[in-house]
Structure formats: structure tokens, C-alpha cells
Copies of this chain bind each other. A is one copy, B any other.
Amino acid sequence: MKICALLSGGMDSTVMVAKLVAENHEVRTLGINYGQRHSKELGIAEAQAAMLGVPFTVVDFSNLGQLLPGNSLTSNIDVPEGHYAEDNMKATVVPNRNMILLAVAIGHAIAHECTAVAYAAHGGDHAVYPDCRPEFADAMAGVAAVCDYQKIEMLRPFMETDKAGIAKLGDSLGVNFARTWSCYKGGDHHCGRCGTCVERREAFYLAGVADPTIYGIDSPTVEDMVRNNWQLND
């Protein structure tokens, strides 16, 4: 199958591309600069695509942040810390981000005669992101089926998997996790404190997979985090 896959450089999409390649699909990957505060993850996505031997294209949509103000990923609001379940994590919602990314990926797929778009939404995605819900994914599959002369299939291979399952699968596929990027803050190292860092650490821990990530010096130890039920206490 000829597939256009969204590749952010995070662990979920990297493992997904590794899985699709292992299944012998013809994969091309797409990274989108949507005005994230840092574009570090796009460089990492490019490196992962090279390691996996698939083409990688970046689309520059960097002024999207000005268009969609009021969230911490594309504007100057502070990135909240702590576990995703906390209410303040709503500040990380970029309005309609997933529909925009998927619409561009579908266009890229059509232009390159792919019959499917793959993305790494997973079963552990949180209700704080409305466009991570299964009903959104189903509706996108409906619109992808009628947006062109030929149907574009929407593949979301991790809908029944949580992030720990993704860590386990990536480990078995030999994914280089040290060269994936999750942190919202985009420093030299993962901060170890923002929602996506906490989730990353929890995933490796629950999967029983060694976490090769270097976290910032002011981040708690993983033992502290387990003891505190993945909440920050300072």
C-alpha cells in the first residue's frame, strides 16, 4: 500500500512509521511546522525518516499560531506542567490542529498517488484534545472517502493501543527512542515536567522499556513520579 504518514518526531508517529515500513508498505512522511514554539521535533522527524529510509517533506505553515491565538504551543502563554489529566492542560490545545494536519496530509497523499494517510492517534489520547477522540477520527475517515475521485483511507493503527503499548512495539522494532522528541518546551533536553514529558516517562515505565531520554536536572526522578502518582508536587 502507498501511504502518506504524518511524522512529528515524537515516539508515537516514529513507531508508527517503523511499523508501516516493517509491514512493507511504501511510505512517505510529512512533517508540519504549524508554528510550534520550537521546530526541534521537525529536525528529529527528518533524522528518523532518514534512518527508516523513507522520504520526508516539511510543510511550512508557521504563521498558523497567529491565526489560532490563545494556546501555549503557538503563542507566549506558559506551557503548563504536570499530568495531562489536569485542567490547565487545555492551554495546550491548538484549535483544530489535527483536522488541519490531516487535510494537508490527504492533499499530499492525493498529489503523490497514495491511497491512505496514517497518523498516530492512540487509545490513550486524552479527552482534553477533542480532535483526538474516536468520533473525530471516524468523521475524518468519512470526509477522506469523498474528498477526491478515489477514496483516501485513514489509517490509525494505534487506536486500540496506549502509549505504553507503543513503547513496547517500538522497542521490539528497534526504534531509536533517544532520537525522538516529545517535550513541549524545546530546550536542549526534555524538561521532564510538562504534560507530554510526564506521559512519555509513564509510558516507558509501564512498558518496562528502558527510557534513554535525558531529562532536565530539575525534573523529579521516575521513582518520585510513581510515588506521587505522576503528579508534580512542587
User: Which residues of B lie under 8 Å from residue A145 when comparing CB positions?
Assistant: 139
Chain A interface, >50% SS class: helix
Would A131 and B147 count as touching, CB distance under 8 A? yes
Q: Which of B100, B133, B143 contacts A139 (CB 8 A)?
A: B143
Interface size on A, residues (CB 8 A): 39
CB pairs A–B below 8 angstroms (11 shown): A59-B63, A59-B64, A95-B106, A96-B107, A99-B103, A102-B103, A131-B147, A136-B147, A139-B139, A139-B145, A143-B143
State the oligomeric state as a number of copies.
2
Residues of A within 8 A of B (CB): 57, 59-61, 63-64, 67-70, 94-100, 102-104, 106-108, 110-111, 130-131, 133, 135-136, 139-140, 142-143, 145-149
Residue of B nearest to A34 (CB): B107
A110 → B minimal CB distance (Å):
4
Q: Which of B63, B98, B100, B133 contacts A60 (CB 8 A)?
A: B63
Q: CA of A68 to CA of B63 in the docked complex: distance in angstroms?
A: 19
